[in-house]
C-alpha cells in the first residue's frame, strides 16, 4: 500500500465534507442520542445538517447505559422511535422496554449518516456567531485536541440557520450564549437554570416540553433542555431523549423554512 495515497484519500475526502459543511441549514452540537435523532430527521427531510462532537466517539451517555451496564430503558413512545431505526427491544414489564445501549447508539449514528447528515468528531464549539445581539447564526470551532493542550490557535467558523444544543447536562452552547449576551434565554432567570435532582417520571415528561427555541436560532434538546429550563434529570431511561431529538428536528425545520 502507498502511504501517501492513503493519507491523500483521508485528507481529501474529509476536507471535501468539512468545507461543504461550513454553511449548513442546521448545526447540531453533541452526537448523543437526542442530537443524532435530530440530525437523522433533519437530513431525511432534506435539511442540510452537520453534527459536531467534541469527543473521539459518538453516543454521549447512552453507551454506558445505567452505571456501565450497557442497557437502557424506554417507555412505549421511545420504543416506537427505536423501532424506526431497527433497534431490537424486549418488554420488561408493562410500559417498560429494554434495549442494548451499544446497538441503539450504533443504529442512531448509522441512520443519521445514511440520511445525509455529516458527523464530525473531535471538534469543540468554543464560541457562537451572534449577529447584532439578535440571533445565533453559526458556530466557532476548534479541534478538541488543541483545547486539551491549551494551545493558542485561532478557530474556524460554520454558518447555520439554526443551532441545536444537544450537549447534555453541561448545556455548553447555552452557557456560551449567556456569557456573551447576558441572561437572555427563554427561562425563568434568563440564564441556564440548572438541572434538579433525579426524578425519572417528571424529568421524562418535562424533557419534551422543554425542547424549545430558547433564543432566536438556538434550540435545546435532550438533557440540555432540562438543564437549561431547570427540570430533574432522569437517569438511564432514554425514551424522552429520543422524542426530544425528534421534536427538535421539527422545530428546526420550521425555522429553516421560514428563512
* pLDDT at residue number 174: 98
Is 75 within a domain?
no
- The predicted structure's pLDDT at residue 133: 65
Residues 146-170 have a mean pLDDT of 97
Sequence-distant (≥ 6) Cβ neighbours of residue 98 within 8 angstroms: 71, 72, 73, 74, 89, 90, 92
Q: Does residue 225 form part of some domain?
A: yes
Residue 111 forms part of a structural domain: yes
217 φ/ψ angles, rounded to the nearest 5 degrees: 85, 5
Residue 140: CATH number of its domain:
3.50.50.60
Number of folded domains that form the chain: 1
From CA 85, how far away is CA 68, in angstroms rounded?
Answer: 23
pLDDT tens figures, 14-45? 999 999 999 999 999 999 999 999 999 999 99
Q: What is the tens place of the pLDDT at every residue in 60-103? A: 999 999 999 999 999 999 999 999 999 999 999 999 999 999 99
CA distance 222 to 208: 8
Nearest alpha-carbon partner for 32 in 133, 192, 213, 172: 172
Tell me, yes or no, whether 151 lies in a domain. yes
Q: Is residue 125 in some structural domain?
A: yes
Q: At what angle do helices 239-258 and 76-84 cross, to 10 degrees?
A: 60
Name the residue range of residue 200's domain.
Answer: 35-64+101-258
- Does residue 21 sit within a domain? no
Count of CB atoms within 10 A of residue 51's CB? Answer: 32
- Residue 233: pLDDT band with limits 50, 70, 90: very high
Q: Which contiguous run of DSSP H or E holds residue 28? A: strand 23-29
Q: Would you say residue 77 lies in a domain?
A: no
Domain-embedded: residue 59: yes
In the chain, the percentage of residues whose pLDDT exceeds 70 is: 100
Cα distance between residue 62 and residue 26, in whole Å: 23
* pLDDT at res. 259: 76
Give percent of the chain above pLDDT 90. 97
CB distance 120 to 18 below 8 Å: yes
Amino acid at each position: 500500500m502507498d502511504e501517501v495515497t492513503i493519507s491523500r484519500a483521508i485528507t481529501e475526502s474529509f476536507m471535501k465534507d468539512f468545507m461543504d459543511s461550513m454553511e449548513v441549514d442546521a448545526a447540531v452540537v453533541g452526537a448523543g442520542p437526542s442530537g443524532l435523532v435530530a440530525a437523522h430527521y433533519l437530513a431525511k427531510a432534506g435539511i442540510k445538517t452537520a453534527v459536531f462532537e467534541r469527543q473521539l466517539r459518538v453516543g454521549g451517555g447512552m453507551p454506558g447505559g445505567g452505571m456501565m451496564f450497557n442497557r437502557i430503558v424506554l417507555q412505549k413512545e421511545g420504543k416506537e422511535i427505536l423501532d424506526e431505526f431497527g433497534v431490537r427491544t424486549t418488554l420488561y414489564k408493562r410500559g417498560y422496554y429494554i434495549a442494548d445501549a451499544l446497538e441503539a447508539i450504533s443504529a442512531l449514528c448509522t441512520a443519521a449518516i445514511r440520511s445525509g447528515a455529516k458527523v464530525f468528531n473531535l471538534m469543540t464549539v468554543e464560541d457562537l456567531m451572534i449577529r447584532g445581539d439578535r440571533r445565533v447564526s453559526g458556530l466557532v470551532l476548534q479541534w478538541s485536541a488543541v483545547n486539551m493542550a491549551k494551545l493558542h490557535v485561532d478557530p474556524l467558523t460554520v454558518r447555520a440557520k439554526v443551532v441545536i444544543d444537544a450537549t447534555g447536562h453541561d448545556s455548553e452552547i447555552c452557557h456560551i450564549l449567556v456569557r456573551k449576551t447576558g441572561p437572555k434565554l427563554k427561562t425563568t432567570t434568563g440564564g441556564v437554570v440548572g438541572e434538579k435532582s433525579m426524578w425519572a417520571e417528571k424529568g421524562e415528561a418535562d424533557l419534551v416540553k422543554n425542547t424549545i427555541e430558547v433564543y432566536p436560532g438556538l434550540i435545546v434538546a435532550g438533557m440540555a433542555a432540562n438543564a437549561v429550563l431547570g427540570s430533574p434529570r432522569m437517569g438511564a431511561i432514554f425514551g424522552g431523549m429520543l422524542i426530544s431529538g425528534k421534536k427538535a428536528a421539527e422545530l428546526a425545520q420550521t425555522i429553516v423554512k421560514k428563512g
